[in-house]
Structure 1
């Protein structure tokens, strides 16, 4: 069977984060040979776009830069969807999710809402009214739910790209009261890290998959590398102790892109400046290889 081609899209944005180093994460993975590693005879893989945010300094400039970037990233994702490819967005800070999932929601809007699994150490549900840092990478979940800065939430001219009942957040362990209050008021299912540790990441992902596929036309996965334990993935801008083990993540994500309705994948927050011995780069390769169909290539060939 011919699988969908993987359209790798580099989301070169660090303006949403306090540490901008993840802006160069996609390029670092590209130079390391990510596309060649993922490609199979029955499933091509290649870089379809590299979208870069303009530089910004002040809080207002950063929000404007992320908003303009989100629109251009959404265009790149839309082109991949129209070709019939599977968009695989590689970040970049997590503000890129606004562009990724707004595009997917817009493409599937005639058929119904989309679902989203958000694997992250953080809730990313701040609005400008609740954020102390005003960093846009802490706002994409709120924006996708239709709250916060209109420049992010109102992409394509409508609000609520994700409905609360179609969003599941897994692995959260670092968050503030304001964003937690918003999500709890909206009724979003949040599997905090103690629950993940008690039940196992695999069981949590099974429940999340069932929820995001229920009464939706499509679904996707947004995976922040800081969800992993820093021992396995030190190369992020905001590592948080006691995270998900890499092997548990690989087991739970195995072939998830083959599940009915999977519209896109997103892997974010790789910061090559903080990596140790290429550990996080290798984890990124392994996660994407596990998640996409035809996972046959040995990871050992990357170690050199």
Structure 2
């Protein structure tokens, strides 16, 4: 190993091993974004996130736990996306379900927010009940369009799923000007963007009392131009990253996705770096979690 190691020294295409603790999985889909009227390009998100992530270093302040986690991490590549959203989501669910059943934490790189329903289907496959925790400017509880899923419908689909395995829905970062009042009433817990700071974000994660999946939609962040549905007045980066690290650290968060990076509208790559840094903070939190478990 050189004296300037990067995450790419560990995160290479690899198979699942008996000692794998965390696995990265891409979902290069944006057909759900098209169905929802957003701008296309999120299908290129997983590749752009990986490109930025592998250039990052383990935490220079305390590298040992981070390196230990990386030694038990795998990048399983991408789930094939064909443009058939429902079939692609089912395929993602099968892959996530296998990881959950093996006790591995999946970190899923989207893709549009249709990723999140495929993510949830992993819990259906594993027969595990889970709460959804969505960091987002939108509630994403729109009805299906002509009976078809899209990037604005995943959390309604979770709540309505006949398995009954969605234990509830929290959305944090919601903008009052980007969501209809009827949609804001669907989650059982809403935290508005104006009420979020780093301490509140960490408190929301700490309040979890059962298994949870965390979904990070980059359009919630103020400094994120390269997304499918850009806005203004979003969360400060520090708040967002505090939430990501808290989710990695929490023993209740069993899986994470990072979605809606659109490299076609990210000419200087800053949003890709933000997406990769979100994953980095999740990994740092996981390193702390597993280090505590080992201790």
Is the TM value for this pair above 0.5? yes
SS at match of 2:170: strand
- Which segments of 5 or more consecutive residues in structure 1 lack a partner in the other structure? 56-64, 147-152, 296-304
Pick from 175, 186, 195: which aligns with 2:178? Answer: 175
Report the TM-score, using the length of structure 1 for normalisation.
Answer: 0.75
SS at match of 1:138: coil
- Is 1:171–1:192's contact at 8 Å kept on the other side of the alignment? yes
Q: Distance in 1 between matches of 2:204 and 2:151?
A: 26
Report the TM-score, using the length of structure 2 for normalisation.
Answer: 0.77
User: How many equivalent pairs are there?
Assistant: 256
Aligned to 2:199: 202
SS at match of 1:145: helix
- Is 1:12–1:52's contact at 8 Å kept on the other side of the alignment? yes
SS at match of 1:294: helix
- Is 2:41–2:262's contact at 8 Å kept on the other side of the alignment? yes
CA RMSD across the alignment: 2.8
- Is 1:49–1:76's contact at 8 Å kept on the other side of the alignment? no
**Are positions 1:253 and 2:267 aligned together?**
no
Aligned to 1:16: 32
Aligned to 1:268: 259
Aligned to 1:282: 273
5 Å-filtered alignment, 1:1-304, equals: 5-18=21-34, 19-34=39-54, 40-43=67-70, 44-55=72-83, 65-109=84-128, 113-128=129-144, 136-146=150-160, 153=161, 158-163=162-167, 166-173=168-175, 174-177=177-180, 180-182=181-183, 184=185, 186=186, 188-196=188-196, 200-210=197-207, 213-214=208-209, 216=210, 218-229=211-222, 232-292=223-283, 293-294=286-287
SS at match of 1:7: strand
Q: Distance in 1 between matches of 2:280 and 2:264?
A: 23
- Is 1:101–1:161's contact at 8 Å kept on the other side of the alignment? no
SS at match of 2:97: helix
Listed one character per residue, the Cα deviations across residues 194-213 of structure 1 (whole Å, up to 9, x for unaligned) are 333xxx24314413541xx3
Q: Distance in 2 between matches of 1:79 and 1:176?
A: 35
Q: Distance in 2 between matches of 1:104 and 1:36?
A: 31
Aligned to 1:61: none
Q: Distance in 2 between matches of 1:267 and 1:160?
A: 24
- Is 2:27–2:80's contact at 8 Å kept on the other side of the alignment? yes
Residue 238 of structure 1 deviates from its aligned partner by 0.5
Q: Distance in 1 between matches of 2:56 and 2:102?
A: 20
- Which segments of 5 or more consecutive residues in structure 2 lack a partner in the other structure? 1-18, 59-65, 289-295
Q: Distance in 2 between matches of 1:191 and 1:74?
A: 28
Aligned to 2:62: none
- Is 1:270–1:280's contact at 8 Å kept on the other side of the alignment? yes
- Write 1 or 2 for the structure with the bigger share of helix: 1
- Is 1:23–1:92's contact at 8 Å kept on the other side of the alignment? yes
Residue 99 of structure 1 deviates from its aligned partner by 1.0
- Is 1:17–1:135's contact at 8 Å kept on the other side of the alignment? no
Cα distance change of structure 1 residues 20 and 201 upon mapping to structure 2, 3 Å threshold:
same
SS at match of 1:254: helix
